[in-house]
Amino acid sequence: MAEKSARLDQPRGRQRRGISIDHERFGRLSERIARFIGSWKFIAWMTVVIVAWIAWNALGPEHLRFDPYAFLFLTLLLSLQASYAAPLILLAQNRQADRDRVQYQDDRASTDRLLADTEYLLREVAALRIAMGELATRDYIRGEIRDILQERDDEREERG
């Protein structure tokens, strides 16, 4: 089998170096995290952890306190959590916006099809009404027959 030679008139294939990321899987994970961060459960747990942290470092034995009075480590952890939460929430919002855009396009196409179908049906109903206007009704035919019979009877009386 001949070895595939590099062609100078075509771009090289994409070469990946490092870690391969499945964007869809990462997007779903970010949405789950964003959903959890936006829940009352997360707020409750975060409140419990912060209150326990502050209580332990303010009221606990001095030799077991791991964060001094200024709570610098707590501030650092909250900033770190916020720095990760914000982009994950934005990513989840962008994915939702993409889904909404696709849904909007589908709804728009469906609406356009419904409008076209409705206009077609309206034209058909109008054509039927016009055609019905040209048809003779039962009362019209009876009246014409009555008139013809009356004329025939009148002609017989005149002759006879």
User: What is residue 91's predicted lDDT score, i.e. its pLDDT?
Assistant: 87
User: What is residue 16's predicted lDDT score, i.e. its pLDDT?
Assistant: 61
Least confident piece of the model among 38-52, 54-68, 73-87, 101-115:
54-68
Classify burial at 60, counting beta carbons within 10 Å of its beta carbon; exposed 0-12, middle 13-18, buried 19 or more: exposed
Cβ within 8 Å of residue 35, ≥6 positions away: 92
A 10 A CB-CB count for 30 gives: 19
Residue 43 CA to its chain's centroid (Å): 28
Delimit the domains of the chain by residue range: 24-159
Q: Tell me, yes or no, if the pTM score tops 0.75.
A: no
User: What is residue 158's predicted lDDT score, i.e. its pLDDT?
Assistant: 86
Q: How confident is the model at residue 15 (pLDDT cuts 50, 70, 90)?
A: low
- Give the integer Cα–Cα distance in Å for 46 and 25: 26
User: What is residue 4's predicted lDDT score, i.e. its pLDDT?
Assistant: 59
Average pLDDT of the chain is 86
